Copies of this chain bind each other. A is one copy, B any other.
Amino acid sequence: MKANLESAELSLRLWRRLYETYTLLKRCEDQIFEEHGLTTEQYAVLVSLSYLGQPARITDIARWLERSTNSISMIVDRMVKAGLVRRARDKVDRRVVYVSKTSKAESLFRPATMESFASVQKILSPIPHKDGLTLLNLLGQVKYETLKCVNREVDIEEIKRDELKQAANIKKWVNQYGLSSTPKTKLQRGKKKKTTR
């Protein structure tokens, strides 16, 4: 690591590395979801329904996934055809569309979630806990700065409140799916565990 890395260079290298890391992690998840008969996009919609509670509005799903309402509508269309979600319109305001999981989706979701979480945990397990917290914090800073670029009027305090709610949901989820700190799945790589503090 060169300490004298110029600021413009560092920015570009960070952007490139964020792209690589995200794309690789996504590719790894794609493989898992495919084995469970889901695309990553479909899985993401099912996750959002778990976090937001069902039925959820398309606009809320889109917001949670940081995507456009239009693109989520198209994914939901295909999911209705695949028998993964049900769609219902609000009785008062017909423009509002609610989405909920079918029992087929429920049965695919649990094993896909267990395996995907185990893989994320396995990938991140060699990173010391302290470094993980640093990474979470630094990515947060980049996220807030990017939000200002996408939307100048953004209320960072509101975003932080949303994050607290989300963190609570993740905690609930970890308990619900019985995820422990030491995942015991076929994905685990033997005893090659690093000692972390």
Contacts and interface: CB of A to CB of B under 8 A. Distances in A.
A10 B121 CA distance: 9
A70 to B, nearest CB: 14
B131 A8 contact: no
A117 B193 CA distance: 39
Contacts of A129: 5, 7, 10
Chain A contact-residue range equals: 35 or more
A75 interface: no
Interface string A113-144: 00001011111111101011111111111110
A185 interface: no
A69 interface: no
Nearest to A47: B16
B138 A24 contact: no
A13 B167 contact: yes
Interface string A1-43: 1010111111111111111111111011001000000000000
Interface stretch (A77-85, A90-98, A99-107, A169-177): A169-177
B173 A12 contact: yes
A153 interface: no
Given A6-B181, A174-B8, A181-B7, A17 B145 contact: no
Contacts of A149: 28, 119, 122-123, 187
Interface of A: 1, 3, 5-25, 27-28, 31, 65-67, 117, 119-127, 129, 131-143, 145-150, 166-167, 170-171, 173-174, 179-181, 183, 187, 189
Kindly list the 4 A-B residue pairs having the minimum CB-CB distance in the complex, ordered from nearest: A22-B22, A7-B181, A24-B146, A8-B179
